Amino acid sequence: MVKRGKKYRALASSYDIKAFHGLDEAVNILKKSDFKFDQTVELHFNLGVDPKHSDQMVRGSVTLPHGTGRKVRILALCKDNAVQAATDAGADFAGGAEMVQKISEGWLDFDAVVATPDMMAVLGKVAKVLGPRGLMPSPKAGTVTPNLAQIIKELKAGKIQYRVDKGANVHTPVGKLSFSGEQLRENILTVIDSVKKNKPQTSKGVYIKSLTLTATMTPSVRLDIAITR
pLDDT in the model for residue 4: 84
Q: How far apart are CA 152 and CA 156, in angstroms?
A: 6
Interval 107-165: pLDDT, tens = 999 999 999 999 999 999 999 999 888 899 988 888 999 999 999 999 999 999 898 99
Q: How far apart are CA 47 and CA 68, in angstroms?
A: 23
Q: How far apart are CA 163 and CA 35, in angstroms?
A: 30
pLDDT in the model for residue 140: 81
To the nearest 10 degrees (0 to 180), the angle between helices 23-30 and 181-197 is 130
Neighbouring C-beta atoms of residue 149, cutoff 10 Å: 17
- Residue 113's SS3 state is strand
Q: Per-residue pLDDT for 92 more than 90?
A: yes
pLDDT in the model for residue 200: 95
What is the band of 38 on the pLDDT scale with cuts at 50, 70, 90?
very high
pLDDT in the model for residue 17: 92
CB 175 within 8 A of CB 66: yes
Q: How far apart are CA 214 and CA 17, in angstroms?
A: 12
Q: How far apart are CA 96 and CA 88, in angstroms?
A: 16
Give the distance, in angstroms, between the CA of residue 155 and the centroid of all CA atoms in the same chain: 11
How large is the average pLDDT for residues 72-86?
95
Q: Answer whether 0.85 is exceeded by the pTM.
A: no
How much of the chain exceeds pLDDT 90, in percent? 86
Tell me how far CA of residue 121 lies from CA of 43, 86, 97, 111, 126, in angstroms: 33, 20, 10, 21, 10
Q: How far apart are CA 25 and CA 100, in angstroms?
A: 45
How large is the average pLDDT for residues 67-79?
94
pLDDT in the model for residue 2: 63
CB 160 within 8 A of CB 61: yes
Interval 1-25: pLDDT, tens = 567 889 999 999 999 999 999 999 9
Partners of 144 in the beta sheet?
115
Interval 216-229: pLDDT, tens = 999 999 999 999 88
Interval 169-227: pLDDT, tens = 999 999 999 999 999 999 999 999 999 999 999 998 999 999 999 999 999 999 999 99
